[in-house]
């Protein structure tokens, strides 16, 4: 059993001079703030097992509230602030949170859905008069810590139930593997509604007693300005491609950095090579999912191989299986399955779906991969049609449903194609109904109130027909092949 995240926080807070956020909060002040917030949650009637939905723009308080939920046993449910009210309705009805904490401009919309809503400034004000000292109840490693929603190919979002041990074991493994120490300073420019920024980045810092430079958004100029004070940066591939286009990225600017880590989407070998040539650093690529936290990582010492995600983390098992479930020999491609303390407890209120996704105690990831002779894992594709754009997941079925609701659309198919900045771009292929006229601008405009910005197609192509097989199924592989170069040179 791993040391609980809150236990580590209390150990770090003993030193009053230990810094949590550069130019901001100490660990001691963080512990006090989480204590006040924990008392506030209890005063609002929340208790162990209740859900708290958080949908706010990135701030330090999000991390404090996450830790306060861990202290009380309230289950933390972060939601992308880019989601519309319509998109958020499913999370409210499915998770039935006891409280939704939002930015002020979202209160009216969520309240209209019947949710109990409090804006973040009001929550902070309520906590001001609460005591800092808080006696934590007893928690078990298998207690739920968080529910993170991830969409399925049907378009319905599923709640991934993550336990305290899932988070703690992964943090412990990563801190050791990536050599985090109290001397490290992490440049944190990731969103905090997602596993990468919320759990991987935050928990690695906390577990090691390191500190972070906390940036609300990723802006290349701001990142480059902050790099001289940092030792580690975690990012999605888009971060690295954008920094490579900035002349301020040089060997001198990165000479003091210890480690650059990439995840949430595949890092192209071209970006890996360009970064190494420009800075002298080899980006360390790793592999994880919402359901599993981190699974594998390229080594800290040794070759960081472009196009691979390295080896399984300590304590994590990975196997490659064929269609019949049999384990395949080294070098053969098949389904990636995972087992270990990092693997989630199941999908919220979906026991049948949970059972479908496990085979003999192994979680079937839906990804296709293979191990090479030296044990490096390569991700070769996805069994599902997931599009990962800028490190965020977009499921075509959800976008297609919105497209099919538009007047004049007879058929739609959404695909992901290579993009030099986002890794993949969402592209909509449409067939117009007889007598209807569709144009790219009006279709995108009609989707803006229905979908979060990152889900909006970057291109809308109106075609005479969609390629289909003998059974009438749209051949998306053919569409991806034809339009693979759509963003070449952009």
From the list 202, 194, 197, 142, the residue with the least C-alpha distance to 171 is 202
d(CA 382, CA 379): 8
**413 has a pLDDT exceeding 70:** yes
Please enumerate in sequence order all residues whose Cβ is within 8 A of that of 403, keeping only pairs 6 or more positions apart, or say none: 409, 412, 414, 428, 430, 443, 447
Find the radius of gyration of the CA atoms of the chain. Answer: 23
Q: How do residues 44-73 score in pLDDT, each as one tens digit? A: 999 999 999 999 999 999 999 999 999 999
Residue 472's pLDDT band, with cuts at 50, 70 and 90, is low
Fold category of 5-139 in CATH = Rossmann fold (3.40.50)
**Do 168 and 5 touch, CB atoms closer than 8 A?**
yes
Q: Mean of the pLDDT values across residues 371-381?
A: 91
The domain limits of the chain are 5-139, 195-338+361-382, 387-482
Residue found by looking up tokens 């384990």 in the block: 327
Please enumerate in sequence order all residues whose Cβ is within 8 A of that of 97, keeping only pairs 6 or more positions apart, or say none: 50, 51, 52, 53, 77, 91, 115, 116
**Do 486 and 416 touch, CB atoms closer than 8 A?**
no
Residue 259's pLDDT band, with cuts at 50, 70 and 90, is very high
Give, for 32, the enclosing helix (H) or strand (E).
Answer: helix 27-43
Q: How do residues 175-191 score in pLDDT, each as one tens digit? A: 999 999 999 999 999 99
* % of the chain with per-residue pLDDT over 90: 86
For the chain, the 3-state helix, strand and coil shares in percent, each to the nearest 5, are: 35, 25, 40
d(CA 209, CA 352): 40
Q: Mean of the pLDDT values across residues 397-414?
A: 88
d(CA 323, CA 379): 17
DSSP 335-379: EEEEESTTS--EETT-HHHHHHTEETTEEEEEEEEEE-TTS-EEE
* Least confident stretch, 214-223, 263-272, 337-346: 263-272
The sheet with strand 459-462 has its strands ordered as 409-419, 423-432, 459-462
d(CA 376, CA 371): 5
Fold category of 387-482 in CATH = GMP Synthetase; Chain A, domain 3 (3.30.300)
- Greatest distance between any 2 Cα atoms in the chain: 72
**Do 403 and 411 touch, CB atoms closer than 8 A?**
no
Q: Do domains 5-139 and 195-338+361-382 have the same CATH topology?
A: yes
Please enumerate in sequence order all residues whose Cβ is within 8 A of that of 212, keeping only pairs 6 or more positions apart, or say none: 20, 21, 22, 185, 186, 187, 188, 201, 202, 205
Please enumerate in sequence order all residues whose Cβ is within 8 A of that of 351, keeping only pairs 6 or more positions apart, or say none: none
Superfamily of domain 195-338+361-382: ANL, N-terminal domain (3.40.50.12780)
């Amino acid at each position: 059993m791993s040391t609980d995240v809150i236990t580590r926080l209390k150990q770090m807070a003993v030193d009053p001079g230990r810094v949590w956020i550069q130019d901001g909060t100490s660990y001691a002040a963080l512990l006090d703030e989480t204590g006040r917030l924990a008392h506030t949650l209890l005063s609002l009637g929340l208790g162990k097992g209740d859900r708290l939905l958080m949908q706010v723009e990135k701030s330090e308080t999000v991390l404090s509230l996450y830790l306060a939920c861990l202290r009380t046993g309230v289950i933390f449910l972060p939601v992308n602030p880019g989601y519309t009210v319509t998109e958020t309705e499913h999370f409210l009805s499915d998770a039935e949170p006891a409280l939704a904490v939002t930015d002020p401009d979202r209160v009216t919309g969520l309240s209209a859905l019947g949710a109990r809503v409090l804006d973040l400034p009001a929550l902070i004000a309520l906590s001001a008069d609460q005591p800092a000292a808080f006696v934590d109840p007893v928690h078990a490693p298998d207690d739920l810590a968080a529910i993170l929603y991830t969409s399925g190919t049907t378009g319905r979002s599923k709640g991934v139930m993550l336990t305290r041990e899932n988070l703690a074991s992964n943090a412990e493994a990563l801190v050791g593997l990536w050599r985090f120490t109290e001397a490290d300073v992490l440049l944190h420019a990731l969103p905090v509604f997602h596993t990468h920024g919320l759990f991987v980045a935050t928990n690695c810092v906390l577990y090691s007693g390191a500190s972070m430079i906390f940036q609300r958004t990723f802006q290349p100029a701001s990142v480059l300005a902050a790099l001289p004070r940092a030792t580690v940066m975690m990012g999605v591939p888009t971060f690295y491609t954008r920094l490579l286009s900035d002349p301020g990225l040089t060997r001198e600017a990165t000479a003091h950095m210890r480690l650059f880590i990439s995840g949430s989407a595949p890092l192209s070998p071209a970006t890996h090579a360009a970064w190494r040539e420009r800075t002298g650093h080899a980006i360390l690529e790793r592999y994880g999912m919402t359901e599993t936290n981190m699974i594998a990582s390229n080594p800290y010492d040794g070759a960081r191989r472009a196009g691979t995600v390295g080896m399984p983390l300590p304590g994590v098992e990975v196997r490659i299986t064929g269609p019949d479930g049999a384990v395949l020999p080294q070098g053969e491609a098949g389904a990636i399955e995972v087992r270990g303390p990092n693997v989630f407890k199941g999908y919220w209120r979906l026991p049948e779906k949970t059972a479908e996704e496990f085979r003999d105690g192994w979680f079937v990831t839906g990804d296709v991969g293979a191990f090479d002779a030296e044990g490096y894992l390569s991700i070769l594709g996805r069994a599902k049609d997931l599009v990962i754009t800028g490190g965020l997941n977009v499921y075509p079925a959800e976008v297609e449903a919105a497209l099919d609701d538009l007047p004049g659309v007879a058929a739609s198919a959404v695909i992901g194609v290579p993009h030099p900045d986002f890794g993949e771009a969402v592209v909509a292929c449409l067939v117009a109904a007889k007598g209807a006229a569709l144009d790219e601008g009006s279709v995108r405009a009609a989707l803006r109130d229905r979908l979060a910005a990152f889900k909006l197609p970057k291109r809308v192509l109106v075609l005479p027909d969609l390629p289909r097989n003998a059974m009438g199924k749209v051949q998306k592989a053919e569409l991806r092949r034809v339009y693979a170069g759509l963003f070449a040179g952009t």
